[in-house]
């Protein structure tokens, strides 16, 4: 066991008492490998491949594209939907770098909550944690709806035709969706390794089928056997020339961000990885690139096959916006036996995608609330760990229960509201991803000038990511607040309090967070007084030498040694310096 690392032997009790002293962050061969105070989670359960799988599965590629691609086209992007997918990748990658850098300093499963608290203080940190919780709870309603409806569609494709009719029933789709939430909550409760093994199968099946379908669609396009509205792909589709930023690009990017969202689950499971300080960050960055490749292929193939018209299977048809794959499936595969198999695989892909994401959406939220419970930013019951499975107990169960409550509530308000939730989630994502970018810059503000590599990766990249998401948030909010932004099947505007429902749900979630924060502050002020998670920057070994010039990747080479506030990993006779205050520390023999 590394120096400064602690491990809990107790379980099904509150995780280690939150104190002002944080554990050591031990230097590693390529950066700093974090050894964290155990909260009772099962360390060493996830390697790099498992972390990448968890990160990618959390985004639910098939479900995300089915739910979002039509909205991107209808927003005005048209055939240039691929350019929106590419543009949305840029801030996502920049923020993934911020996650990687912050995780090196403090691999805590609270991620944005912990890092923003360190950088900006408890109020901002608490809202960062709330942003994660709100986004996950809101999206669970949409995930459960898709999983529930496709459960009946899949069974119908197997031959039980009467079951297929239930897919259009709000009641039965909701019942099936609730069952999916219960099942996936139980799997998360049983352990991270069980969750990871299931994701190997679900993600592998999903990606393989998506690639096969895309290739098949492109073959039909070039063979002239696709839909009459089909279009031959063009390289110009990847450049947004002619699209207005305020009315088309910004709102479309806010929607497209949704399809990338979820890779940060790999970082939220950092305390359960084999190398908490390095593996999760690498997995996060790798996941974003793999997702970009997958989305680019599928988007181009789908637009080329179906076209962007407003009739039949066209992606611009409002009736297809909720699920483009269901719309193009019959036209793509036909009525033959092979076509029936294709439709069956397509249904299975969406079902496995939504169900996998239901599970991996519970994982990061439960770990965020676990960390908040440990630091007493939430009731300490949220910090309880199961004796055998080493998973958050109260956090996982509460996440499942709250998700069911809001899923049923949103369904009762309006079935059209479920579609609006995607935009609302986009606002939440832009909020806490952007906050993480700014937290990275501020956290390393005294040290990122030590080398060109640090200045680029700890200042420029995260700062641009934060700024881009802030701008997109502002422009998107203006569009979403318009009364005619969302209409139901009868052509009526879907509004709340006279504003667009998408904007109201998104901003309402943030306002609810502020109210709950002040309520908890009045009940338990310790965290908000900085008694459990103090605001600080890193102590660095003096002299804090930068990376030695070398040939290699920007993230390679020897990095400055980060010293624990309790000086447990400070070599005898050496000095540590607080870059914020300049104060020096040393310890005797």
pLDDT of residue 163: 78
Residues 535/120, Cβ–Cβ less than 8 Å: yes
pLDDT digits (tens, 9 = 90+) for 472-531: 899 888 888 888 877 766 777 778 888 888 888 889 999 999 999 999 999 999 999 888
Rounded to the nearest angstrom, the gap between the alpha carbon of residue 96 and the centroid of all alpha carbons in its chain is 10
Predicted confidence band of residue 44 (pLDDT cuts 50, 70, 90): confident
Residue 447 lies in a domain: yes
Q: What is the pLDDT confidence band of residue 467, given thresholds at 50, 70 and 90?
A: very high
First vs last C-alpha separation in the chain: 21
Distance, in Å, from the CA atom of 515 to the CA atom of 402, rounded to the nearest integer, reads: 18
pLDDT in tens, 142-167: 888 888 888 888 888 777 777 778 88
What is the predicted pLDDT for the residue at 578? 62
Q: What is the pLDDT of residue 43?
A: 75
In the sheet that 584-585 helps form, which strands lie side by side, from edge to edge?
A: 562-563, 539-542, 575-577, 584-585
Indicate the DSSP class of residue 588: -
For residue 334, tell me if it sits in a domain: yes
Q: Which range among 62-66, 69-73, 168-172, 430-434 has the greatest average pLDDT?
A: 430-434
> Higher confidence at residue 546 or residue 213?
213
In a domain, 174, yes or no: yes
> Does 236 reside within a domain?
yes
Its pTM stands at: 0.80
Mean of the per-residue pLDDT values for the chain? 81
- Give the pLDDT confidence score for residue 156 in this predicted structure: 82
The pLDDT, as a whole number, for residue 587 is 67
Check whether 399 has a pLDDT greater than 50: yes
| 113 pLDDT higher than 70 | yes
Question: With 0-12 CB in 10 A as exposed, 13-18 as middle and 19+ as buried, what is 548?
Answer: exposed
Measured distance CA(157)–CA(339) in Å, rounded: 11
pLDDT score of 362: 86
**Contact status, residue 283 vs residue 266, Cβ threshold 8 Å:** yes
Q: Which of 304, 334, 288 is nearest to 215 (CA)?
A: 304
pLDDT at 472: 86
Q: Which domain holds residue 521?
A: 25-585
Instruction: Look up the CATH number of the domain holding residue 514.
Output: 1.20.1740.10
38 confidence band (pLDDT: 50, 70, 90): low
Among residues 71, 65, 64, which one has the least CA distance to residue 317?
71
pLDDT for position 497:
85
Which range has the worst mean pLDDT, 62-71, 166-175, 189-198, 336-345? 189-198
Q: What are phi and psi of 24, to 5 degrees?
A: -70, 150
The confidence score (pLDDT) of residue 233 equals: 93
11 part of a folded domain: no
pLDDT of residue 542: 43
Domain count, the chain: 1
**Average pLDDT of 555-572?**
55
pLDDT greater than 80 at residue 88 = yes
Q: Which residues face 500 on adjacent strands?
A: 495
Cβ(75)–Cβ(321) under 8 Å? Answer: no
H, E, C per residue of 80-104: HHHHHHHHHHHHHHHHHHHHHHHHH
191 pLDDT higher than 60:
yes
Give domain status of residue 16, yes or no: no
Q: Please state, as a whole number, how many other Cβ atoms lie within 10 Å of the Cβ of residue 184.
A: 27
> Where is mean pLDDT largest: 6-10, 26-30, 322-326, 450-454?
450-454
Percent of the chain residues past pLDDT 90, beyond the cut: 31
Q: What's the confidence (pLDDT) of residue 585?
A: 67
DSSP letters, 456-522, are IIIIIHHHHHHHHHHHHHHHHHHHHTSTTS-B-TTS-B-EETTEEHHHHHHHHHHHHHHHHHHHHHH
Q: What is the DSSP letter of 270?
A: G
In the prediction, which pLDDT does 433 show? 95
The pLDDT of residue 194 is: 64
Q: Do the domain assignments include residue 7?
A: no
Q: What pLDDT is attached to residue 321?
A: 74
pLDDT tier at 583 (50, 70, 90 boundaries)?
Answer: low
Q: What is the pLDDT of residue 439?
A: 95
Q: Which long-range contacts (CB under 8 A, 24 or more apart) does 8-12 make?
A: 8/38, 8/39, 8/40, 8/385, 10/40, 11/40, 11/385, 11/386, 11/387, 11/388, 11/390, 12/384, 12/385, 12/386, 12/387, 12/393
Mean pLDDT of 43-59: 84
pLDDT band at 456 (very low <50, low <70, confident <90, very high): very high
* Least confident piece of the model among 384-393, 509-518, 542-551: 542-551
Q: What are the start-end ranges of the H helices in 158-249? A: 161-164, 170-190, 192-223
Give the pLDDT confidence score for residue 462 in this predicted structure: 96
Whole-Å CA distances, 270 to 113, 257, 490: 14, 23, 47
- Residue 17 in any domain: the answer is no
């Amino acid at each position: 066991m590394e120096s400064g690392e602690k491990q809990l032997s107790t379980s099904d009790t509150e995780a280690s008492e939150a104190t002002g002293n944080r554990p050591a962050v031990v230097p590693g061969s390529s950066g700093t490998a974090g050894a964290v105070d155990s909260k009772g989670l099962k360390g060493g359960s996830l390697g790099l491949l498992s972390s990448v799988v968890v990160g990618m599965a959390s985004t639910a590629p098939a479900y995300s594209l089915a739910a979002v691609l039509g909205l991107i086209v209808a927003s005005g992007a048209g055939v240039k939907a691929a350019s929106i997918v590419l543009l949305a990748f840029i801030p996502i990658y920049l923020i993934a770098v911020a996650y990687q850098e912050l995780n090196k300093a403090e691999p805590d499963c609270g991620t944005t909550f912990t890092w923003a608290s360190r950088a900006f203080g408890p109020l901002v940190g608490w809202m960062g944690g709330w942003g994660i919780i709100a986004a996950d709870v809101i999206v669970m309603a949409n995930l459960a709806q898709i999983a529930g409806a496709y459960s009946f569609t899949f069974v119908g494709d197997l031959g039980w035709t009467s079951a297929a009719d239930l897919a259009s029933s709000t009641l039965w789709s909701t019942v099936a969706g609730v069952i999916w939430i219960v099942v996936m909550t139980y799997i998360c409760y049983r352990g991270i390794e069980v969750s990871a093994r299931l994701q190997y199968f679900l993600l592998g099946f999903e990606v393989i089928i998506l690639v096969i379908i895309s290739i098949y669609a492109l073959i039909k396009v070039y063979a002239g056997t696709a839909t009459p509205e089909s279009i031959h792909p063009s390289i110009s589709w990847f450049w947004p020339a002619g699209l207005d930023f305020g009315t088309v690009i910004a709102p479309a990017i806010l929607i497209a961000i949704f399809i990338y969202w979820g890779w940060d689950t790999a970082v939220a499971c950092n305390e359960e990885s084999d190398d908490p300080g390095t593996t999760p960050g690498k997995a996060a960055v790798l996941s974003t690139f793999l997702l970009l490749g997958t989305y680019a292929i599928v988007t181009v193939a789908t637009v080329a096959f179906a076209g962007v018209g407003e009739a039949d299977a066209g992606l611009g048809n409002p009736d297809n916006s909720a699920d483009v794959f269901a719309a193009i499936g019959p036209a793509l595969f036909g009525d033959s036996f092979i076509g029936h198999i294709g439709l069956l695989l397509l249904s299975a892909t969406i079902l496995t995608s939504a169900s996998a994401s239901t599970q991996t959406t519970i994982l990061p939220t439960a770990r965020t609330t676990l960390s908040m419970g440990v630091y007493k930013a939430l009731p300490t019951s949220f910090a309880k760990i199961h004796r055998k499975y080493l998973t958050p107990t109260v956090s996982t169960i509460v996440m499942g229960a709250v998700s069911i409550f809001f899923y049923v509530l949103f369904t009762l308000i309006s079935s059209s509201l479920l579609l609006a939730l995607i935009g609302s989630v986009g606002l939440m994502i832009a909020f806490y991803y952007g906050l993480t970018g700014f937290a990275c810059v501020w956290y390393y503000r005294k040290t990122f000038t030590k080398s060109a590599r640090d200045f680029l990766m700890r200042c420029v990249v995260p700062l641009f990511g934060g700024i881009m998401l802030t701008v997109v948030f502002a422009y998107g909010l203006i569009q979403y607040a318009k009364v005619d932004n969302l209409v139901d099947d009868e052509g009526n505007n879907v509004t709340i309090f006279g504003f667009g429902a998408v904007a109201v749900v998104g901003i309402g979630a943030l306002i609810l967070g502020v109210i709950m924060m002040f309520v908890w502050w009045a009940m338990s002020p310790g965290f908000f007084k900085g008694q459990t998670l103090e605001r600080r920057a890193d102590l660095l070994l003096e002299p804090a030498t930068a990376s030695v010039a070398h040939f290699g990747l920007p993230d390679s080479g020897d990095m400055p040694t980060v010293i624990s506030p309790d000086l447990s990993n400070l070599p005898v006779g050496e000095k540590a310096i607080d870059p914020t205050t300049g104060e020096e520390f040393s310890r005797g023999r």
